[in-house]
Structure 1
Amino acid sequence: MLEQLAAVILPVVIIAAIGYAWSRFSRPFDNALVTQLVSMIGSPCLVASSLTSLHVQPESLGLMALATILVFSGMFVLGFLVLKVMGLPMHSYLPAVVFSNAGNMGLPLALFAFGDSGLALAVVYFAFSATLQFTAGMSIAAGTTSVKHLVRMPVLYAVGASFLFIVTGVQVPTFIANTLEILGGLTIPLMLLALGVSLASLRIRSLPRNLFLSLVRMIGGFALSFLVSWALDLPPMARGVLLIQASMPVAVFNYLFAQYYNRRPEDVAAMVIISTLLSFGTLPFLIYYVLSAAQ
């Protein structure tokens, strides 16, 4: 079991540490370019490649999608109530409480824990997370709602096209499948490197409050995913993937949006780094739990 834990956790930590060291040694790293590559090319290709190349039943994907929607609905309600009681502005803190790092950390953890089949389920969660973050999350931070962000998201078209192939049973042409696999393979290492680079530039402030909100994000996500997986009677692998994705720390994109719209970016940055540091301590227990439950 220790060997299994190391195989799942250490690659994530090592690659993020390389990104952190790269930044600390003042090596060039164009975060904006990497973000665009991952958002516009890497993530859609990863989603399409994972969903179309694996033998996962459409019913399993649909059940995972339902579980994901329920978890996000619960997180929105939980975050709203907590912030209302604390008297904190929704536009600054709600996205950080709701959206986990399902891409940078969740995808590789699901891959290393459950293999390609686990990755296929994880990209369902990631696809919903990315869609909601770039629509509802961005709208909350901006204080306005815009449909143009939704129609400009390549991951939506990747999901739609993938489900069309899955439902009809049509095989993706080999040259397209190979292209998607190569481009999708860029995503996870670039995400982990970008995570490490981002952590090197962030600072911690208002520790008690931001520590509490970080715990709400991680513990709340775990509790809700546990309840949803129990209520839907998810299979062990789907339950494990849902628990991993929902228990991840605050997504780095929350900081980027907070900075762009000037929504207390220092506090959101603190939540990112606090929750990420906490996750390195909780990951062994989380992965041990999901692997034990799946056996």
Structure 2
Amino acid sequence: MIQTLSDALIPLLSLIAIGAVLGRKTDFFDGRALSGLVTTVGIPALLLHSVLSMDLGIFEMGELVGVTVLWLVAMSAVTAVVLVLMGLPVRSYLPALVHPNTGNMGVPVCFALFGAQSLGFAMVISSVIQVSHFTLGIGCLSGRLSLRAMLKNGPVLALIAGAILLALKVQPPGPVMTTLDMLGSITVPVMLMQLGSSIANLRFSGAREMLRPLVFSFYRPLAGLAVAAGLLLLWPLEGLQAQVFLVQCAMSVAVMSYVLAVRYQGPAQEIALTIPISLVVSLGVAVWFSLW
């Protein structure tokens, strides 16, 4: 298990390191064009390809979608209360503290812990979280959220299209799937290198500025796990589904939260610093699951 986990994480950390070097030496990550390419092309293609590649029935998929949406509602409510008590702007920090890194972190971790049979469950949960980034996340950071905008959202359309094709048992031709795979493959590397660039260019005046990211780094995985465990008391899932759900909800702050914070002028530097620290906490949770 440790070998598989390290095999999954070393490429991620390597891409962050490459981004850090490029961010210090070049202007490749300056501006919003690159993040715009990822959010409008890469993410929808990755999402649709993932949904169409899953070996799941429409009813199993619907149950996981439902429980994940309910978890998002509960986690958002809890986090909003915490932010109000801390005297922080809810809209600025809510998306990063609610959304876990279920994609490039959660999926490899679930595979390492539970094997290939867990991948379908992990991808469904990750798909819902990705849609939430572009609905709840953008709505909070931009201050605009409408049904019309949601229905024009690329990831939302990709998930709807994938669900319809699954229900009709229609599999697109091989070249179409290959095209989606190629377009989606740009997403994770670019996001991780953007994160590394931001971390490399962080400027903090003292240790006091580290306190809030440190608190957030523990809150995101541990609160996510606690809310998920409480929810399973009301909505019991089968053994493997429940385990994957708990692990996914306990993942670190998502890289996408950083990308959106950059695009909509949110607290990008704090989020960038929170991501690697919360990753360590999430790995601790993963190790605990492996021993449990």
Q: TM class, shorter-chain normalised?
A: 0.7 to 0.9
**Amino acid of the residue matched to residue 182 of structure 1?**
M
* TM-aligned CA distance change 1:152 to 1:55, over 3 Å: same
- CA–CA distance in structure 2, aligned partners of residues 136 and 253 of structure 1: 13
- CA–CA distance in structure 1, aligned partners of residues 11 and 265 of structure 2: 34
- CA–CA distance in structure 1, aligned partners of residues 2 and 260 of structure 2: 38
Q: CA deviation at 1:104?
A: 4.6
Aligned 8 A contact 2:110 2:119 in 1: yes
Aligned 8 A contact 2:55 2:120 in 1: no
Aligned 8 A contact 1:217 1:249 in 2: yes
Matched, 1:208 2:211: yes
* Root mean square deviation of aligned Cα: 3.0
* TM-score with structure 1 setting the length: 0.82
Q: CA deviation at 1:278?
A: 3.5
Q: CA deviation at 1:78?
A: 0.9
* TM-aligned CA distance change 1:133 to 1:82, over 3 Å: same
- CA–CA distance in structure 1, aligned partners of residues 70 and 160 of structure 2: 20
Q: What does 1:1-295 correspond to in 2, within 5 Å? A: 1-26=1-26, 28-29=28-29, 32-110=32-110, 118-204=118-204, 206-229=209-232, 231-255=234-258, 257-258=260-261, 265=267, 269-279=269-279, 281-291=280-290
SS at match of 1:228: helix
SS at match of 2:55: coil
* Residues 162-211 of structure 1 deviation map (CA, whole Å, 9 limit, x = unaligned): 11121111232222122222222333333322322232233456333342
* TM-aligned CA distance change 1:17 to 1:244, over 3 Å: farther
Q: CA deviation at 1:221?
A: 0.9
Bigger mean CA deviation after superposition, 37-46 or 135-144: 135-144
Aligned 8 A contact 1:122 1:242 in 2: yes
SS at match of 1:160: helix
Aligned 8 A contact 1:218 1:275 in 2: no
* TM-aligned CA distance change 1:172 to 1:275, over 3 Å: closer
Q: CA deviation at 1:76?
A: 0.9
Q: CA deviation at 1:72?
A: 0.8
Residue identity over aligned pairs, in percent, reads 30
**Amino acid of the residue matched to residue 223 of structure 2?**
G
Q: CA deviation at 1:273?
A: 1.0
**Amino acid of the residue matched to residue 287 of structure 2?**
Y
Aligned 8 A contact 1:5 1:288 in 2: no
- CA–CA distance in structure 1, aligned partners of residues 195 and 119 of structure 2: 19
Bigger mean CA deviation after superposition, 22-31 or 218-227: 22-31
SS at match of 1:206: helix
- CA–CA distance in structure 2, aligned partners of residues 259 and 188 of structure 1: 16
* Residues 238-261 of structure 1 deviation map (CA, whole Å, 9 limit, x = unaligned): 334333432233334545555665
Aligned 8 A contact 2:46 2:180 in 1: yes
Aligned 8 A contact 1:131 1:150 in 2: no
Q: Which runs of 5+ in 2 are unaligned?
A: none
* TM-score with structure 2 setting the length: 0.82
- CA–CA distance in structure 2, aligned partners of residues 256 and 43 of structure 1: 12
Aligned 8 A contact 2:23 2:29 in 1: yes
**Amino acid of the residue matched to residue 221 of structure 2?**
M
